[in-house]
Copies of this chain bind each other. A is one copy, B any other.
Amino acid sequence: MISFKNDYSEGAHENIINLLVKSNLKQENGYGEDNYSTIAREKIKKTINNDNIDIHFISGGTQANLTVISSILKPYESVIAAKTGHICVHETGAIEATGHKINEIETKNGKLYPELILPILNEHTDEHMVKPKLVFISNSTEIGTVYTKDELVNLSEFCKSNDLLLYLDGARLGSALTSEGNDLTLEDLSKLLDVFYIGGTKNGALIGEAIIIINDELKDNFRFNLKQKGALLAKGRLIAIQFVELFTDNLFFKLATHANLMAKIISDEIKKLGFEFLTDSKSNQIFPILPNKLINKLEKNYDFYIWQKIDNDTSAIRIVTSWATKEILFF
């Protein structure tokens, strides 16, 4: 049985494992003040080509989202997000648990645009309602779509002119930035966003995400937030080591490129067979719409999620490829 359920089924790329082994008995300071954290920060800054950023390593995406968002908002401020956003659906109310409402927006493709956000701003005009302050986006989105540079520039300008901050959940940022047609770079992100995170867990790391704080006002005392949310690992070296290797020799981008290629091969084959897709994805998550009979047959050899019932005879399934997916013939 081969699993296409997600991109975190395997351990880590061998370079990471090797450094874990090699570094194992070195004594290091705790809580992210070790040498590997320093090295990883330097490498990421160099890749982003931006020295004026703060970098913090954290164990997972939900923890990154809840720690970042709760650190930014005043009690009455809210987050704006697409209804398909991870924080709206799949984080068990983690954001609300820190006290904040999410203003959810229905979208066609999982992406936010100024024209979708504007009505929310127009409605929220007085103290009887929350005050929207932060826009949450994901790239790639939870349904595999990817922002273009134009889209992100527009959104960024809209946010700035409306006193909104912009945060990007980069759980699958590697896949987005290496997807076909992508014209965004990490450097662009560091100019257009206030804060984002670079996902390691879903792109070849054993564990960990790297939070990148760009906006100076969000930098102060961030480690207090990390510690309070239980996000400051004693052996911070563990996550740092992941990023040392991911940002050595472009490994981060190579792994994502591979995942995308694997998805494209599968995708192309499915298209050849004449099937449609639920969303237009160039990233490592694809959502083909298949006859239930075929799905049943596929389930005997492959593991994947049935995403959505389309009609009585067909359903959309989710296929996720990863850095570890081997090039195989899907059908």
Residue positions of A touching B, CB distance < 8 A: 2-3, 5-6, 8-12, 14, 17, 20-21, 23-31, 59-67, 70-71, 74-76, 78, 89-94, 96-102, 104, 127-131, 201-202, 206-207, 221, 223-235, 237-238, 324
Contacts and interface: CB of A to CB of B under 8 A. Distances in A.
Contact of A131 (B3, B6, B12, B224): B224
A206 B235 contact: yes
A316 to B, nearest CB: 15
B230 A8 contact: no
Give the top 5 A-B pairs by smallest Cβ distance, nearest first.
A63-B230, A11-B24, A76-B224, A93-B101, A127-B223
Contacts of A227: 62, 76, 91-92, 94, 127-128
Contact of A221 (B31, B76, B207): B76
Given A66-B229, A67-B230, A131-B221, 8 more contacts: A25-B324, A60-B234, A91-B128, A91-B228, A93-B99, A93-B101, A99-B99, A130-B224
A21 to B, nearest CB: 6
11 contacts: A6-B234, A20-B20, A71-B75, A75-B225, A76-B224, A76-B225, A94-B227, A96-B96, A206-B238, A207-B233, A229-B229
Contacts of A99: 93, 96-99
Contact of A92 (B59, B206, B224): B224
Q: Which one of A2, A20, A228 has the greatest number of beta carbons of chain B within 10 Å?
A: A228
A296 B140 CA distance: 49
A92 B71 contact: no
Contact of A76 (B8, B62, B228, B238): B228
A82 B88 CA distance: 17
A223 to B, nearest CB: 4
A122 to B, nearest CB: 11
